[in-house]
Amino acid sequence: MADCCALTGKQADFFKYYEQAMDLEENDSIRLELKRILVRKHIQFEQPIYALILLNELKDKLSEKESLFYAVAANYLLNNYSESKRRMHELSGFIPAYDSLYVSGIYLKAEKSWERNMNQYSIYSAVLPGAGQMLSGAYMAGADAFFLNMTIFSLAGVMISHLSFLDAFLTCYPLIKRYYLSNIIQAKKAAEEQKEANKYVYYNQLLDYMNEGLNPE
C-alpha cells in the first residue's frame, strides 16, 4: 500500500503506512530496512530534515559510507552547502580517484546561484522591460514584456504628440500600471524559478558523481 502511495505521489499516506508497518514489525532487521527506505524516501520527497533525524537514530546501524551519502544529499537540499561539502570530503575516502576540483566546482556554482540577489532582476526590468526575464533565461517572457511595454510607451508618446498629456495619461496609465509593474514582478519570479532549477541541476550532478564513484562498473 505504501509503495502504491509513493508511485501516485501521495507522500503523507506513504509515510503513514510505512510508520504503521514499522510499529507492527517485530523483526529488528526488517525494521532497520524500513527505516533505511524511509531515509531514501524523505530525501526523494525533499524532506531532508526528517532524513537527518532518522540518520541520527541509525548512526550506529548504517555503514559510514551510506550515512555520509545521505548526509551529503540531505544537507545540500537544506542549502547547508558547507556541511554538505564537509560530509562529501569525508565520503571522498570511499571514492576512487576522487576529483576534488570537480566537486568543489559544483558546490561553488550552487552557492553562487543560491546567494544571488533576486531583487536585482526586478531592477533590470524596471530600467528595460524584459531584461530581468532574459537574464534569468526566460527569453520568450522577456521578449513579450519588452515588445508589449515598448508598444504601450510608443502609444503614449504618439498620444502626447498628437493629442495631450491628459489623454495619454488616461489611456495608457492603466496599461502601464498593469503590464509594466507586472513585468517587474515577473522578472523576480523568473529569477527565483531559475535559481531553484539551478539548485537541482547541481544536485543531480552531485548525486551522479557519488553514485558513479561509489558504484564503479
Q: What is the pLDDT of residues 111-129, one digit of tens each?
A: 998 888 888 999 999 888 9
Q: Which three cell numbers stand for residue 110?
A: 550552487
Q: What is the pLDDT of residues 194-206, one digit of tens each?
A: 999 999 999 999 9
Average pLDDT over residues 58-69: 87
What per-residue confidence (pLDDT) applies to 77?
Answer: 93
What per-residue confidence (pLDDT) applies to 198?
Answer: 92
What per-residue confidence (pLDDT) applies to 24?
Answer: 60
What letter represents residue 39's amino acid?
Answer: V
Query: Which span out of 52-56, 62-66, 76-80, 152-156 was modeled with the highest average pLDDT?
Result: 76-80
By percentage, how much of the chain surpasses pLDDT 90? 34
Q: Is the pLDDT of residue 163 over 70?
A: yes
| Cα dihedral across residues 58, 63, 68, 69: positive or negative | negative
Q: Which three cell numbers stand for residue 197?
A: 532549477
pTM of the entire structure? 0.77
What per-residue confidence (pLDDT) applies to 102?
Answer: 93
3-class secondary structure per residue, the chain: CHHHHHHCCCHHHHHHHHHHHHHHCCCHHHHHHHHHHHHHHHHHCCCHHHHHHHHHHCCCCCCHHHHHHHHHHHHHHCCCHHHHHHHHHHHHHHCCCCCHHHHHHHHHHHHHHHCCCCHHHHHHHHHCCCHHHHHCCCHHHHHHHHHHHHHHHHHHHHHHHHCCHHHHHHHHHHHHHHHHHHHHHHHHHHHHHHHHHHHHHHHHHHHHHHHHHHCCC
Pick from 85, 113, 81, 82: nearest CA to 100: 85
